[in-house]
Structure 1
Amino acid sequence: MATAAAAGILTSGRLTASIGGVLHAHSVNPAFHSNLAAFSPKSFSPAAISFRPRRRQFASTALYKPDFSVKEEGTKETLDYRVFFIDSSGKKVSPWHDIPLSLGDGVFNFVVEIPKNSSAKMEVATDEPFTPIKQDTKKGKLRYYPYNINWNYGLLPQTWEDPSYANLEVDGALGDNDPVDVIEIGDARAKIGEVLKIKPLAALAMIDEGELDWKIVAISLNDPRASLLNDMNDVEIHFPGTLTAIRNWFRDYKIPDGKPANQFGLGNKPASKDYALKVIRETNESWAKLIKRSVPAGQLSLA
């Protein structure tokens, strides 16, 4: 597994970087790096859009359960608490960079940061070596949502919302400089650091203080109803009202702190599964450029 990345090249689906004369590699899915010209910006109703991308497999040689474990350091709900990911040799690895994104056939890995029915705002520390999960802070104090989140929440590894990219389909909003968020709607409560197989169902284009913060709505393949859900219309049938509840939760959660409500692009409506897959492809491509240092990393850790 990769432990760092500096200057590199993309070859045979692997991102290889030379650091101090030693070669390191990040898994990069070549199926994501194809021509996206067919998806040109235009006005549309996202619910009615039917994207017809070139048929392809999200091929991956990675196992569903990468050979790693999680290790807690410090005490929960303290500034020092971290959840690190450890490979089979005992070395720390990054849940953002080293866990593969695609498992093929439209299935992806999802790293859980915040279990459902909890309020501690846990997130991958994108500016720390090996990007462990920690509790977010503001002015030196731990952050909590004003009420519990009702779904498992976390990130898609090997994705990145580029803060220099203005998305013309979403009011020209710039990326928020983070991995893409996932809202997993299944019944089971996951654990911090758990990696689940999920399939995307819809996308919400949240605009948080002017930054584009994609929310991919998905279902764990372990959920008893997973086989019944294949697009956002199925969510309304089997989880009625959930898409509206998710949008409203993320729209309003900052209001108790005296901040304005978040906004949503794409006509304030969820977009289809095909659109969600488009977002994943594009943000995976942005991540690959970041890892190759084709774009500035700023304070982000690439280890």
Structure 2
Amino acid sequence: MAATRVMMMSTTNIAFKSSFLKPQSLAFCFNKSAKLVNKKRGFACSALYKPDDVQIKEEGLPETLDYRVFFHDNTGKKISPWHDIPLHVGDGAFNFIVEIPKESSAKMEVATDEIWTPIKQDTKKGKLRYYPYNINWNYGLLPQTWEDPSHANPEVEGAFGDNDPVDVVEIGESRGKVGQLMKVKPLGVLAMIDEGELDWKVIAISLDDPKASLVNDVDDVEKHFPGTLTAIRDWFRDYKIPDGKPANNFGLGNKAANRDYALKVITETNESWAKLVKRTTPAGELSLV
């Protein structure tokens, strides 16, 4: 029998209560205590959630093909970390879901084609995937975002979206856990081009990090985390080379764009996600539950 373990997410990480996604819904938030707001930078879920815990349940054993990390609401019902957890938490902060903890190499990711979109370890030709070396930062996704594969971005060499949620590189000192939710603020963004697909990497920091108040933009990152922006770019540029693949490329001058540009990317991909769940954009094999 598959092992099942339960982890409780601290209320310091998220205050969240879920209701379930309906394909015909026009709202970006799915909660009676949340409201749809149209801010200057686009639609957002305002942080009006009760401080209920989200349960994380592991099914199967880590580093096996059956391993899954499911998200549950406070009633025990499964929810989707991609669709049901709000993007915005207010005051310019966002929910970030850790898929790969810093200093680890198992390639964990939200299974966008499985019901409830649990986190699992990626596979290739039936074998579990690992990075050739540890990733040095917490890595994961922004919920309620989507990089539309039918959209060619004119600012980044006309590259099409990679059909996934937006990735986040969280640079704080604490090591996260698979499935952990952090409140983060964006600092910049890299426009990685992976085999012709645009794969945004938002650089962010946890609001709980001791240096969070010191960094608000890319220039602050270089000042308080010297060398980190270059290290992130080089890591993502080179990680496929040991497998015999070419290095990845970057648009936008081969450097991280600033916070305002990162917020623009988040807004646009949030709007793309909204079109996806409203079914005005074809979902293909993606799960909308």
With normalisation by structure 1, the TM-score equals: 0.85
Indicate how the Cα distance of structure 1 residues 156 and 14 shifts in structure 2: closer, same or farther if over 3 A, else same. closer
Query: Alignment partner for residue 235 of structure 1, among 204, 213, 221?
Result: 221
Deviation at 1:104, TM superposition (A): 1.3
| Residue 92 (structure 2) aligns with | 106
Letter of the 1:31 counterpart: N
| Residue 20 (structure 2) aligns with | 3
The CA deviation string for residues 212-249 of structure 1, in whole angstroms up to 9 with x for no partner, is 00000000011100000010000000000000000000
Unaligned runs of 5+ in 2: 1-17
- Counterpart of 2:62 in 1: which secondary structure? coil
Tell me, in whole angstroms, the C-alpha distance in 1 between the residues paired with 2:35 and 2:136. Answer: 32
| Residue 237 (structure 2) aligns with | 251
Deviation at 1:65, TM superposition (A): 5.9
Tell me, in whole angstroms, the C-alpha distance in 2 between the residues paired with 1:76 and 1:62. Answer: 34
Indicate how the Cα distance of structure 1 residues 29 and 168 shifts in structure 2: closer, same or farther if over 3 A, else same. farther
Aligned residues of 1:14 and 1:26 also touching (Cα < 8 A):
no
| Residue 35 (structure 1) aligns with | none
The CA deviation string for residues 21-40 of structure 1, in whole angstroms up to 9 with x for no partner, is xxx999785336xxxxxxxx
| Residue 165 (structure 1) aligns with | 151
Letter of the 1:3 counterpart: F
Indicate how the Cα distance of structure 1 residues 207 and 55 shifts in structure 2: closer, same or farther if over 3 A, else same. closer
Which 4+ runs in 1 deviate beyond 2 A? Answer: 1-10, 24-32, 54-59, 61-67
Indicate how the Cα distance of structure 1 residues 66 and 278 shifts in structure 2: closer, same or farther if over 3 A, else same. farther
The CA deviation string for residues 61-105 of structure 1, in whole angstroms up to 9 with x for no partner, is 443966311000000000000000011111100000011100111
User: Is 1:30 aligned with 2:37?
Assistant: yes
Indicate how the Cα distance of structure 1 residues 174 and 88 shifts in structure 2: closer, same or farther if over 3 A, else same. same
Tell me, in whole angstroms, the C-alpha distance in 2 between the residues paired with 1:116 and 1:148. Answer: 7
| Residue 73 (structure 1) aligns with | 59
Count of aligned residue pairs for this structure pair: 272
Q: Percent identity?
A: 70
Indicate how the Cα distance of structure 1 residues 141 and 297 shifts in structure 2: closer, same or farther if over 3 A, else same. same
Indicate how the Cα distance of structure 1 residues 182 and 28 shifts in structure 2: closer, same or farther if over 3 A, else same. farther
Aligned residues of 1:58 and 1:106 also touching (Cα < 8 A):
no
Indicate how the Cα distance of structure 1 residues 125 and 28 shifts in structure 2: closer, same or farther if over 3 A, else same. farther
Aligned residues of 1:57 and 1:105 also touching (Cα < 8 A):
no
- Equivalences for 1:51-70 in 2 at 5 Å? 54=40, 60-63=46-49, 67-70=53-56
Tell me, in whole angstroms, the C-alpha distance in 1 between the residues paired with 2:252 and 2:173. Answer: 28
Letter of the 2:26 counterpart: I
For the aligned residue pairs, the C-alpha RMSD in angstroms reads 2.1
Indicate how the Cα distance of structure 1 residues 286 and 66 shifts in structure 2: closer, same or farther if over 3 A, else same. farther
Indicate how the Cα distance of structure 1 residues 152 and 168 shifts in structure 2: closer, same or farther if over 3 A, else same. same
Indicate how the Cα distance of structure 1 residues 27 and 257 shifts in structure 2: closer, same or farther if over 3 A, else same. farther
Indicate how the Cα distance of structure 1 residues 55 and 71 shifts in structure 2: closer, same or farther if over 3 A, else same. closer
Indicate how the Cα distance of structure 1 residues 76 and 286 shifts in structure 2: closer, same or farther if over 3 A, else same. same
- Counterpart of 1:217 in 2: which secondary structure? strand
The CA deviation string for residues 98-144 of structure 1, in whole angstroms up to 9 with x for no partner, is 11100111100000000000000000000000000000000000000
Deviation at 1:14, TM superposition (A): 4.2
Letter of the 1:192 counterpart: V
- Counterpart of 2:82 in 1: which secondary structure? coil
Deviation at 1:55, TM superposition (A): 7.5
Letter of the 1:97 counterpart: H
